[in-house]
Copies of this chain bind each other. A is one copy, B any other.
Amino acid sequence: MTSSSSETTNAQSLRNSLTQRAAELEATLNKLLPRMKGGEANLIEAMRYAVLGGGKRLRGYLVTEVASLFNVPVTRALYVGASVEMLHAYSLIHDDLPAMDDDDLRRGKPSTHKQFGEAIAILAGDALQTKAFEILAMEETHESTKIRIELVKALAEASGSTGMVGGQVIDMEGENKHLTLPEVLNLHAMKTGRLICYSAEAGAILGQASHELHNHIISYGRDLGTAFQIADDVLDATASAEELGKTAGKDTAAGKSTFVSLLGINDAKKEADRLVAKAIRHLEPFGDAADNLRALAEYVVYRKN
């Protein structure tokens, strides 16, 4: 990719927007998960540990930024953004468990089960999933029950057995097996892509987008999700644990087929570039208002962690 001065301006604008929104998401998460005094205090601490103070907030940002295209009040979009960040945090807690990826490090800190023990980690993940749905059902999220139900449905479909969790199983069962490129694409569309796509879609649901614009947003989310995963594979193969804030080289160690193992690093990067360009084309109907989302597509591929 060439780096023109307009790209630099957009990247700068995105950086500011991401930083501000991350702070707003943090405040929203903090409000939605208040500390408690009772016997469940430790559970709440573990939930807060897993979801507060870290991460790129890519999913939460997507919700709010797409919602802003449709003039949705930001407080509402922040609730839905906080909900998807909780859902994402639950998946990371369970992913890191000894019975799963057995990972001691997450976002540069001990993973939740290293900090709180396995039992609390399992339950904190469970309760974060519940809370994600609870928030979508709250009146504060949207006055219309129809919209809240659409959000619940979309999140459930993106994260359950035919979405994220189904993808995790396919990923696990693919270890030490050769997968084809279409199989790897499907795996990641489920495991990571569906929740990223949901995040964009949730903004369109909140905004009561027309059928046509809704589809544009979904297409953007889908290409972004795949580009994100290819970039993740490239990072896993090339970056250090220090840069990543999590264990590096995991996929190779686990004998997994990845975009990098199938395409090589150069062609994987080219495919990511192609998807970024495609994602950006889906944003045409939104004009300048979508500049941050355009820059986000580029950021997702050129990030360092």
- List residues of chain B with CB within 8 A of the CB of A52: none
- A126-B149 Cα distance, complex, nearest whole Å: 20
User: Is A100 part of the contact surface with B, judged by Cβ < 8 Å?
Assistant: yes
Closest to A160 in B: B130
- A9-B174 Cα distance, complex, nearest whole Å: 57
Task: Given A126-B129, A166-B127, answer yes or no on A134-B119 (Cβ-Cβ < 8 Å).
Answer: no
- List residues of chain B with CB within 8 A of the CB of A146: 145
Closest to A159 in B: B130
Interchain nearest-CB distance for A164 vs B (Å): 9
Interchain nearest-CB distance for A95 vs B (Å): 10
A122 B120 Cβ-Cβ under 8 A: no
B97 A122 Cβ-Cβ under 8 A: yes
Closest to A153 in B: B137
A131 B39 Cβ-Cβ under 8 A: no
A126 B43 Cβ-Cβ under 8 A: no
Interchain nearest-CB distance for A52 vs B (Å): 15
User: Is A17 part of the contact surface with B, judged by Cβ < 8 Å?
Assistant: no
In the complex, per-residue mask of A152-177: 1 if CB is within 8 Å of any chain B CB, else 0: 11001101111001111110111000
From the candidates B134, B168, B173, name the one contacting A153 in the complex (CB within 8 A): B134
From the candidates B126, B136, B137, B160, name the one contacting A165 in the complex (CB within 8 A): B126
